[in-house]
Structure 1
Amino acid sequence: MIRFVWMIFLCLAGPAAARDLRIATYDPGLSRPGPGLLLRDIRRADPQVLAAAQVIAAAAPDAILLTGFDWDHDGLALSAFAQVLEQAGHPMPHRFAARPNSGMPTGLDLDGDGRSGGAGDAQGFGQFSGQNAMAILSRLPLGPVTDHTAFLWRDLPGGLMPASVPQGQRLSSTAHWDVPVLTDRGPLHLLAWSATPPVFDGPEDLNGRRNHDEAAFWLDHLPAAPFVLLGNPNLDLADGDGRAQAMTALLDHAQDPRPKGAFQPDQAGANARQTGDPALDTAVYDPAGPGNLRVDYAWPAKGLRVIASGVIWPAPGDPLAAAVEAASNHRLVWVDIDLDSLEAAR
């Protein structure tokens, strides 16, 4: 019965045809408070894990960036989750993950609480090395990855790093990757990152500055090849807090297909005061707080032709709605790219 439901949804969603490439980004909520717990939950067939897999299988991406997915040294959790996806009818045999900055110890007291070794003292916020990391799954082979995760914040031209930040502070709160997906028209570079929220700090605006510079990094590292800027910049250009200049500058090189969901919840509380189109939102937050926001993006290079795009946010009563709600407070974002334009853009 579940497989039948997926087949119905795939028809409705308009999956990538033979000449199209579907690229997606999604925070599936597959992060846990301790090392090894995600692998345990995957092996136990935890309902939340199965719901996340159901959402991905329904979207049927050719390649997907997962943000909010715990890293382990041997890639056991990612391999186990790939098996779950295959059992769900959507095999993605090619994958990449690398140690992120989240949870990586620095030995310093970065958060000023008088102790070192806490979550706020890591290169990126995390209770253990690899918490809330990233991963790539792909139906197609992947080329050699350029991992920028060790890039120092101080080395970013024009960066906003405060003088009080240690010189060894890395820029990426999670990671920055350039991952080529190998198609029969040549590689498409996935420029993947997941940034710190631009809030939860003081008047020094440390997180706001870092969030800005995590996006600004790509302005100096765009490949001379077709690409998609992909991930969770943690910034809503219309309704969120933060500095929008870097994301706006990226639109000089990329296009925003403005993917929309089929359903938007009641616009109460903070949502009623927002100015952005609620159909563009990709994450559910407390209406007493920030409200729903658009924080997950897939922006193809300007030379690429976008066939379609969307956000997996079905209305109540849709066969997939329960899985979407159970998996995560984020929604999967996808974009279909014409492979002929990939070849022409070289």
Structure 2
Amino acid sequence: MRIATYAAPLNRTGPGLLLRDILRGDDPQIAANVAIIAQAAPDLLVLTDFDYDLDSIALRAFAALFDPPYPYLFAARPNTGMPTGQDIDRNGRRAEPRDAQGYGLFNGHGGMAILSRLPIDAGGVTDLSGLLWRDLAGADLPMLDGAPFFAPAVLDVQRLSTTGHWIVPVLPPGGQPFAVMAYAASPPAFDGPERRNIRRNRDELRLWEQVLAGDFGPMPEDFVITGNANLDPQAGDGDRAAMAGFLAHPLLQDPLPGQPTADWRDIGLGKLRVSYVLPSRGWRVMDAGVLWPAADGPAVAGAHHLVWVDIAR
């Protein structure tokens, strides 16, 4: 099975605009993203920047662009753009993108979605996206001048997940079920002295550590953790040591050590590794790669690149 993740920029500035662009059939960015996905041909793909709509109309339209179309889809309401009613960033204004549960111009902006050729047990999904940040064991909440940055009313509503943390059961025909554990974390940047995004990015990874420890119920025997951690173990902003430690977790395999997955040289950040497909120890890793476009390929596809891993039992 080929499992992949891709932070393709399938988001737009308002609700319904992604569906509009898919249906028009002439959007160069969507065409480039579809070509990349078709080239990789994953059996299951986690998209980590896909606008959500309640009935998954845009997701179904996108799945239909492939030959054959992806038959199994999953998307849950993300935290991106979800209103909190609070002045999260303490700038004196509410209802701005930074005041949402996760940064977003509208409810569902840049969410997550799964395309699959393997059946998905949507009724068996465990969605940890509603966990309040303060309720994570050992939560590293923002501080400013030695005092909590968040007011009590913010702590009462602020979720940990920027986008979401899903545990999705997958049912291969004739095979043993396994779980896809998907997420897309806050970038550890654009911070003030309270270091809100750096702390949140680290704690979003810490949630998976606690899941692996059994703190949120029994672990599936076989699983894959995948998505956009927005954290490189060797370079860039954020808690690099935390990512390096996670990659060395005894329950995980890292098939692509040191492989960059995004290219931000145009803004001075260089090439960084931020997206991951990490199988559990029970899998045989047959092959793995990052699908970089040709040097003369379309830059319109975005800064992120598709990451894939072939696994077997």
Aligned-partner residue type, residue 97 of structure 2? A
Structure 2 SS opposite 1:221: helix
Does 2:304 correspond to 1:304?
A: no
Among 95, 108, 121, the alignment partner of 1:117 is 95
Q: How does 1:6-45 map to 2 (within 5 A)?
A: 21-45=1-25
Q: How far 1:245 sits from its partner (Å)? A: 4.1
Q: How does 1:111-260 map to 2 (within 5 A)?
A: 111-143=89-121, 144-162=124-142, 163-165=148-150, 166-167=154-155, 168-183=157-172, 184-222=174-212, 223-250=219-246, 251-252=248-249, 253-258=251-256
Q: Distance in 2 between matches of 1:313 and 1:140?
A: 25
Deviation digits for residues 278-314 of structure 1 (CA, Å, limit 9, x no counterpart): xx11112134521121111101112211000001114
Q: How far 1:54 sits from its partner (Å)? A: 1.2
Q: Distance in 2 between matches of 1:27 and 1:105?
A: 23
Q: Distance in 2 between matches of 1:94 and 1:299?
A: 22
The answer to whether the 8 Å contact 1:212/1:244 transfers is no
The answer to whether the 8 Å contact 2:178/2:221 transfers is yes
**What is the TM-score of this pair, normalised by structure 2?**
0.89
Structure 1 SS opposite 2:177: strand
Structure 1 SS opposite 2:118: coil
The answer to whether the 8 Å contact 1:213/1:246 transfers is no
Q: Distance in 2 between matches of 1:29 and 1:241?
A: 21
Aligned-partner residue type, residue 36 of structure 1? G
Percentage of pairs with the same residue: 51
Does 2:72 correspond to 1:94?
A: yes
The answer to whether the 8 Å contact 1:216/1:247 transfers is no
Deviation digits for residues 154-184 of structure 1 (CA, Å, limit 9, x no counterpart): 1111121133222221000100000111112
Question: Structure 1 residue runs of 4+, over 4 Å off?
Answer: none
Number of aligned residue pairs: give it: 292
Q: Distance in 1 between matches of 2:220 and 2:49?
A: 29
Aligned-partner residue type, residue 296 of structure 1? S
Residue in structure 1 matched with residue 216 of structure 2 by the alignment: none
Structure 1 SS opposite 2:50: coil
Structure 2 SS opposite 1:229: strand
Aligned-partner residue type, residue 291 of structure 1? G
The answer to whether the 8 Å contact 1:142/1:179 transfers is yes
Q: Distance in 2 between matches of 1:140 and 1:48?
A: 27
Does 2:96 correspond to 1:105?
A: no
Q: Distance in 1 between matches of 2:3 and 2:89?
A: 37
Structure 2 SS opposite 1:68: strand
When residues 249 and 288 of structure 1 are mapped into structure 2, their CA distance, relative to the original with a 3 A threshold, is: closer
The answer to whether the 8 Å contact 2:233/2:241 transfers is no
Q: Distance in 2 between matches of 1:78 and 1:123?
A: 22
Deviation digits for residues 14-41 of structure 1 (CA, Å, limit 9, x no counterpart): xxxxxxx100000111001111110000
Q: How far 1:90 sits from its partner (Å)? A: 4.0
When residues 326 and 90 of structure 1 are mapped into structure 2, their CA distance, relative to the original with a 3 A threshold, is: farther
Structure 2 SS opposite 1:292: strand
The answer to whether the 8 Å contact 2:170/2:178 transfers is yes
Deviation digits for residues 30-88 of structure 1 (CA, Å, limit 9, x no counterpart): 00111111000000111211211111111110100001100011111101101112xxx
The answer to whether the 8 Å contact 2:233/2:242 transfers is no
The answer to whether the 8 Å contact 2:74/2:114 transfers is yes
Q: Distance in 1 between matches of 2:10 and 2:194?
A: 31
Structure having the larger proportion of residues in strand: 2
Structure 1 SS opposite 2:171: strand
How big is the alpha-carbon RMSD for the aligned residues of Structure 1 and Structure 2?
A: 1.5
When residues 287 and 329 of structure 1 are mapped into structure 2, their CA distance, relative to the original with a 3 A threshold, is: closer
The answer to whether the 8 Å contact 1:180/1:189 transfers is yes
